[in-house]
Structure formats: C-alpha cells, structure tokens
Amino acid sequence: MHDWCVYMLRCGDGSLYTGATNDLERRIRVHGTGRGATYTRSRLPVRLVYAEPAADRSAALRREWALKQLTRPEKIALVRRRQGEVSRGPAARPSGSVRRPGRSPGSRRRQRR
C-alpha cells in the first residue's frame, strides 16, 4: 500500500491543479496521458510542482480542501517556499500544516474580475 499525499500540478496553460492520491507516480502518469481529471485533460502538459505527505486518506482530503481554499498568489508562494526548502535540504522543512482561521467550506470569498 502506498502512502497518501496531496499534490499540485502546473498545467500547460499556467493554472494549478490540486489533488490527493495514494500513488503519486501513477497519478502523475495518468494525468500526463490525458486520462486524469477532466480539468487537466485539456491543459496538457502537466508538471508536478508540489507534494506533501499525509497520514491517511482523511488527512489528505482535508489538506486538499484547505489548499483549494488558498488564493492563486498564496498557492504560488507555497510552491516557491517548498521548492526553496528542497534546494536547502530536509532541515529547512516546517512541521505540521498551516490552518487558515475563519475559513469553512461554505465561506468562499468572491473573486473580483
């Protein structure tokens, strides 16, 4: 059995896709062949830009939901921070996940266009 994780892909159009899986390598392959999520099918190629381990399926799905609540600039900052940590080595990794106060499933902010 594989470990659960949450991941972000940068799509060919520059958008970010967030998902959760228990087999990251297989899931990336499936996305890359156009047989993954409907969202990524029309936005190929996709590239893994972020992955975060989760204790179990429930934790992965909760974290996926939390990441999807972030604004695009917040997601990009998260990806950049993680990429910086990888280049500096494992000692730089923070423990735990960030909880954003005041956010619940029904409280999505309206985005101005």
Residue 20: per-residue pLDDT:
98
What's the pLDDT at 17? Answer: 97
Task: Rounding to the nearest 10 degrees, give the CA dihedral for residues 54, 12, 34, 9.
Answer: 0
Residue ranges per domain, the chain? 5-90
Q: Which CATH class is domain 5-90?
A: alpha beta
- Report pTM: 0.73
How is the chain split among helix, strand and coil, in percent rounded to 5?
40, 15, 40
Q: What is the pLDDT along the chain (113 residues), one digit of tens a residue?
A: 569 999 999 999 999 999 999 999 999 999 999 999 999 999 999 999 999 999 999 999 999 999 999 999 999 999 999 888 765 554 434 444 444 445 544 445 555 55
